[in-house]
Structure 1
Amino acid sequence: MKTTTLYRPVGEKEMVLILESNFKKFPPRLEWQPIFYPVLDESYASEIAEKWNTRDEAGNYLGFVTQLQINILPRMSEQEIIMSCGCRQKKLDKFNQAIIGSIEVTNVFIGNDFRKSENTEIENLILKLKNET
Protein backbone atom coordinates (compact mmCIF):
# COMPACT_ATOMS: atom_id res chain seq x y z
CA MET A 1 0.00 0.00 0.00
CA LYS A 2 1.05 3.55 -0.57
CA THR A 3 -0.24 6.64 1.18
CA THR A 4 -1.37 10.06 0.09
CA THR A 5 -2.19 13.30 1.88
CA LEU A 6 -5.71 14.69 1.63
CA TYR A 7 -7.29 17.86 2.97
CA ARG A 8 -10.84 18.59 4.03
CA PRO A 9 -12.28 21.99 5.00
CA VAL A 10 -14.81 21.79 7.82
CA GLY A 11 -16.92 24.14 9.91
CA GLU A 12 -17.34 24.23 13.67
CA LYS A 13 -19.98 21.47 13.92
CA GLU A 14 -17.84 18.96 12.04
CA MET A 15 -14.72 20.04 13.95
CA VAL A 16 -16.44 19.35 17.27
CA LEU A 17 -17.29 15.83 16.07
CA ILE A 18 -13.71 15.27 14.88
CA LEU A 19 -12.48 16.38 18.31
CA GLU A 20 -14.90 13.94 19.96
CA SER A 21 -13.40 11.12 17.86
CA ASN A 22 -9.96 12.07 19.20
CA PHE A 23 -8.98 13.16 15.66
CA LYS A 24 -9.45 9.61 14.34
CA LYS A 25 -12.41 9.90 11.96
CA PHE A 26 -14.71 12.18 10.06
CA PRO A 27 -18.26 12.32 11.39
CA PRO A 28 -21.39 11.15 9.62
CA ARG A 29 -22.55 13.70 7.11
CA LEU A 30 -24.59 16.56 8.48
CA GLU A 31 -28.14 16.78 7.11
CA TRP A 32 -27.21 19.36 4.46
CA GLN A 33 -24.02 17.56 3.34
CA PRO A 34 -24.83 14.55 1.17
CA ILE A 35 -21.26 13.89 -0.03
CA PHE A 36 -17.92 13.76 1.76
CA TYR A 37 -15.34 15.25 -0.59
CA PRO A 38 -11.68 15.70 0.41
CA VAL A 39 -9.17 17.42 -1.89
CA LEU A 40 -5.50 16.85 -2.77
CA ASP A 41 -4.35 20.44 -2.49
CA GLU A 42 -4.05 22.33 0.80
CA SER A 43 -4.36 25.72 -0.89
CA TYR A 44 -7.68 24.65 -2.46
CA ALA A 45 -8.94 23.39 0.92
CA SER A 46 -7.87 26.72 2.45
CA GLU A 47 -9.69 28.64 -0.26
CA ILE A 48 -12.89 26.70 0.45
CA ALA A 49 -12.52 27.14 4.22
CA GLU A 50 -11.92 30.87 3.84
CA LYS A 51 -14.48 31.68 1.15
CA TRP A 52 -17.30 29.26 2.01
CA ASN A 53 -17.05 28.14 5.62
CA THR A 54 -16.49 31.65 7.00
CA ARG A 55 -19.82 32.70 5.46
CA ASP A 56 -21.75 29.72 6.83
CA GLU A 57 -23.86 30.38 9.90
CA ALA A 58 -24.32 26.63 10.52
CA GLY A 59 -20.54 26.31 11.00
CA ASN A 60 -20.36 29.42 13.20
CA TYR A 61 -18.45 31.23 10.44
CA LEU A 62 -15.34 29.13 11.06
CA GLY A 63 -13.34 27.32 8.42
CA PHE A 64 -10.84 24.71 9.60
CA VAL A 65 -8.46 22.98 7.20
CA THR A 66 -7.85 19.35 8.15
CA GLN A 67 -5.06 17.16 6.82
CA LEU A 68 -4.90 13.39 6.82
CA GLN A 69 -2.95 10.49 5.41
CA ILE A 70 -4.76 7.53 3.88
CA ASN A 71 -3.78 4.17 2.46
CA ILE A 72 -4.48 3.91 -1.25
CA LEU A 73 -4.09 1.25 -3.87
CA PRO A 74 -0.84 1.32 -5.85
CA ARG A 75 -0.93 2.96 -9.28
CA MET A 76 -3.98 5.11 -8.61
CA SER A 77 -3.97 8.48 -10.35
CA GLU A 78 -4.80 11.64 -8.41
CA GLN A 79 -8.19 11.79 -10.12
CA GLU A 80 -8.94 8.18 -9.13
CA ILE A 81 -7.97 8.98 -5.53
CA ILE A 82 -10.38 11.92 -5.37
CA MET A 83 -13.16 10.02 -7.13
CA SER A 84 -12.81 7.11 -4.71
CA CYS A 85 -12.75 9.42 -1.67
CA GLY A 86 -15.75 11.53 -2.64
CA CYS A 87 -18.33 9.33 -1.03
CA ARG A 88 -21.75 9.15 0.46
CA GLN A 89 -22.34 8.08 4.05
CA LYS A 90 -22.28 4.34 3.41
CA LYS A 91 -18.64 4.54 2.21
CA LEU A 92 -17.46 7.00 4.86
CA ASP A 93 -16.80 4.25 7.41
CA LYS A 94 -14.51 2.51 4.93
CA PHE A 95 -12.76 5.81 4.22
CA ASN A 96 -12.24 6.43 7.96
CA GLN A 97 -10.66 2.97 8.29
CA ALA A 98 -8.07 3.97 5.66
CA ILE A 99 -6.88 6.97 7.70
CA ILE A 100 -3.35 6.53 9.01
CA GLY A 101 -2.73 8.12 12.39
CA SER A 102 -4.69 11.21 13.33
CA ILE A 103 -6.46 13.96 11.48
CA GLU A 104 -4.47 17.16 11.84
CA VAL A 105 -5.75 20.73 11.73
CA THR A 106 -3.43 23.00 9.76
CA ASN A 107 -5.31 26.30 9.68
CA VAL A 108 -8.42 28.16 10.71
CA PHE A 109 -10.23 31.03 9.04
CA ILE A 110 -12.59 33.20 11.06
CA GLY A 111 -15.51 35.00 9.45
CA ASN A 112 -16.72 38.47 10.40
CA ASP A 113 -19.86 37.08 12.07
CA PHE A 114 -18.08 34.45 14.21
CA ARG A 115 -19.49 34.14 17.71
CA LYS A 116 -17.29 32.82 20.51
CA SER A 117 -17.60 29.06 20.51
CA GLU A 118 -19.41 27.35 23.34
CA ASN A 119 -16.83 24.55 23.02
CA THR A 120 -13.64 25.17 25.01
CA GLU A 121 -11.62 22.79 22.82
CA ILE A 122 -12.61 24.74 19.71
CA GLU A 123 -11.57 28.02 21.35
CA ASN A 124 -8.23 26.48 22.38
CA LEU A 125 -7.68 25.11 18.87
CA ILE A 126 -8.36 28.55 17.36
CA LEU A 127 -5.88 30.18 19.74
CA LYS A 128 -3.24 27.55 19.02
CA LEU A 129 -3.60 27.85 15.24
CA LYS A 130 -3.62 31.66 15.30
CA ASN A 131 -0.46 31.70 17.47
CA GLU A 132 1.32 29.41 14.96
CA THR A 133 0.75 31.81 12.06
Structure 2
Amino acid sequence: MSRQGTAEKATTTLWRPTGPKELELVRGSGWRAWPARLPQQPFFYPVLNEDYAIRIARDWNVKHDGAGYVTRFAVESAFLARYPVRQAGGETILELWVPAEELEEFNAHLVGPIELVHEFR
Protein backbone atom coordinates (compact mmCIF):
# COMPACT_ATOMS: atom_id res chain seq x y z
CA MET A 1 0.00 0.00 0.00
CA SER A 2 1.38 3.42 -0.84
CA ARG A 3 0.70 6.47 1.27
CA GLN A 4 0.85 10.17 0.42
CA GLY A 5 2.28 9.50 -3.02
CA THR A 6 5.25 7.42 -1.87
CA ALA A 7 5.69 4.08 -3.58
CA GLU A 8 5.97 0.94 -1.52
CA LYS A 9 9.46 -0.56 -1.69
CA ALA A 10 9.86 -4.10 -2.99
CA THR A 11 10.75 -6.57 -0.26
CA THR A 12 12.28 -10.02 -0.04
CA THR A 13 11.10 -12.52 2.57
CA LEU A 14 13.87 -14.24 4.51
CA TRP A 15 13.89 -16.80 7.32
CA ARG A 16 16.20 -17.30 10.26
CA PRO A 17 16.51 -20.43 12.38
CA THR A 18 17.42 -19.42 15.90
CA GLY A 19 17.82 -20.66 19.43
CA PRO A 20 16.17 -19.43 22.63
CA LYS A 21 18.83 -16.82 23.56
CA GLU A 22 18.75 -15.03 20.22
CA LEU A 23 14.95 -15.20 20.13
CA GLU A 24 14.77 -13.46 23.52
CA LEU A 25 16.98 -10.65 22.22
CA VAL A 26 14.74 -10.27 19.15
CA ARG A 27 11.67 -10.21 21.43
CA GLY A 28 13.43 -7.54 23.54
CA SER A 29 13.81 -5.37 20.43
CA GLY A 30 10.05 -5.40 19.97
CA TRP A 31 10.52 -7.86 17.06
CA ARG A 32 12.27 -5.08 15.09
CA ALA A 33 15.98 -5.99 15.05
CA TRP A 34 18.53 -8.79 15.06
CA PRO A 35 21.04 -8.64 17.93
CA ALA A 36 24.69 -7.84 17.40
CA ARG A 37 26.86 -10.86 16.64
CA LEU A 38 29.21 -12.29 19.24
CA PRO A 39 32.96 -11.88 18.55
CA GLN A 40 33.17 -15.47 17.23
CA GLN A 41 30.26 -14.80 14.81
CA PRO A 42 31.61 -12.73 11.89
CA PHE A 43 28.42 -13.13 9.84
CA PHE A 44 24.64 -13.07 10.23
CA TYR A 45 23.09 -15.83 8.09
CA PRO A 46 19.48 -15.37 7.02
CA VAL A 47 18.22 -18.11 4.68
CA LEU A 48 16.14 -17.92 1.52
CA ASN A 49 13.62 -20.67 2.12
CA GLU A 50 11.49 -21.85 4.97
CA ASP A 51 12.25 -25.58 4.59
CA TYR A 52 15.98 -24.98 5.09
CA ALA A 53 15.28 -22.85 8.17
CA ILE A 54 13.02 -25.57 9.59
CA ARG A 55 15.70 -28.22 9.13
CA ILE A 56 18.30 -26.13 10.99
CA ALA A 57 15.94 -25.17 13.83
CA ARG A 58 14.59 -28.71 14.26
CA ASP A 59 17.78 -30.71 13.71
CA TRP A 60 20.50 -28.40 15.08
CA ASN A 61 19.02 -25.82 17.47
CA VAL A 62 16.90 -28.36 19.38
CA LYS A 63 19.91 -30.65 19.82
CA HIS A 64 22.24 -27.83 20.98
CA ASP A 65 19.82 -25.42 22.73
CA GLY A 66 16.83 -27.55 23.74
CA ALA A 67 14.55 -25.58 21.41
CA GLY A 68 14.63 -24.23 17.89
CA TYR A 69 12.62 -21.49 16.27
CA VAL A 70 12.04 -20.25 12.75
CA THR A 71 11.44 -16.58 12.15
CA ARG A 72 10.29 -14.83 9.00
CA PHE A 73 10.97 -11.21 8.07
CA ALA A 74 11.04 -8.88 5.10
CA VAL A 75 13.94 -6.73 3.94
CA GLU A 76 14.09 -4.09 1.20
CA SER A 77 15.09 -5.99 -1.95
CA ALA A 78 17.26 -3.17 -3.31
CA PHE A 79 19.34 -3.22 -0.12
CA LEU A 80 19.77 -7.01 -0.23
CA ALA A 81 21.25 -6.83 -3.75
CA ARG A 82 24.66 -6.13 -2.14
CA TYR A 83 24.76 -9.64 -0.67
CA PRO A 84 25.30 -12.50 -3.13
CA VAL A 85 23.22 -15.62 -2.54
CA ARG A 86 25.44 -18.42 -1.24
CA GLN A 87 24.69 -22.07 -1.80
CA ALA A 88 25.61 -23.85 1.43
CA GLY A 89 24.90 -27.37 0.25
CA GLY A 90 22.08 -28.72 -1.87
CA GLU A 91 20.17 -26.80 -4.49
CA THR A 92 17.72 -25.28 -1.98
CA ILE A 93 20.24 -24.59 0.79
CA LEU A 94 20.62 -20.89 0.11
CA GLU A 95 21.67 -18.15 2.49
CA LEU A 96 23.05 -14.64 2.67
CA TRP A 97 26.22 -13.76 4.53
CA VAL A 98 25.80 -10.36 6.16
CA PRO A 99 29.04 -9.15 7.80
CA ALA A 100 28.53 -8.55 11.52
CA GLU A 101 29.59 -4.91 11.19
CA GLU A 102 26.73 -4.33 8.71
CA LEU A 103 23.96 -5.81 10.87
CA GLU A 104 22.80 -2.46 12.26
CA GLU A 105 22.35 -1.16 8.70
CA PHE A 106 20.66 -4.45 7.73
CA ASN A 107 18.19 -3.97 10.61
CA ALA A 108 17.43 -0.45 9.35
CA HIS A 109 16.16 -2.02 6.10
CA LEU A 110 13.76 -4.49 7.73
CA VAL A 111 10.17 -3.88 6.67
CA GLY A 112 7.69 -4.74 9.39
CA PRO A 113 8.25 -6.99 12.39
CA ILE A 114 10.21 -10.21 12.67
CA GLU A 115 7.63 -13.00 13.01
CA LEU A 116 7.94 -16.28 14.89
CA VAL A 117 6.50 -18.94 12.57
CA HIS A 118 7.68 -22.34 13.93
CA GLU A 119 8.80 -23.74 17.27
CA PHE A 120 10.50 -27.09 17.93
CA ARG A 121 11.40 -28.75 21.25
TM-score, normalisation: structure 2: 0.76
The residue number in structure 1 matching 2:11 is 3
* Aligned mates of 1:2, 1:68 — CA distance in 2: 13
* Equivalent in 60, 68, 75 of residue 63 of structure 1: 68
Query: Matches of 2:74 and 2:61 in 1, distance apart?
Result: 23
Matches within 5 A, 1:1-133: 1-56=9-64, 60-73=65-78, 76=81, 80=84, 82=85, 85-110=96-121
Give the structure with the higher percent helix. Answer: 1
Q: Which whole-Å CA distance do the structure 2 matches of 1:62 and 1:32 have between them?
A: 22
The whole-number CA distance in structure 1 between the counterparts of 2:40 and 2:17 is 15
The size of the alignment, in residue pairs, is 103
Gaps of 5+ in 1: 111-133
Counterpart contact for 1:7–1:41, Cα < 8 Å: yes
Structure 1 residues 31 and 11 mapped into 2: Cα distance closer, same or farther (>3 Å)? farther
Tell me how far apart the structure 2 counterparts of residues 52 and 33 of structure 1 sit (CA, whole Å).
17
Q: Which consecutive segments of 4 or more residues in structure 1 shift more than 3 A?
A: 82-85
Secondary structure in structure 1 of the residue aligned to 2:98? coil
Which runs of no fewer than 5 residues in structure 2 stay unpaired? 1-8, 87-94
Q: Distance in 1 between matches of 2:29 and 2:102?
A: 18
- Tell me if the contact between 2:36 and 2:103 (Cα under 8 Å) persists in the aligned partners: yes
Contact 2:41 2:100 in 1 (8 A): no
CA distance in 2, matches of 1:105, 1:99: 15
The CA deviation at 1:55 is 1.1
Bigger strand fraction = 2
1:35-57 deviation per Cα after TM superposition (whole angstroms, max 9, x unaligned): 1010110010000101110111x
- Give the root-mean-square deviation of aligned CA atoms: 2.1
SS of the counterpart of 1:39?
A: coil
Q: Percent identity?
A: 37
Structure 2 CA distance for aligned equivalents of residues 45 and 85 of structure 1: 13
Deviation at 1:86, TM superposition (A): 1.5
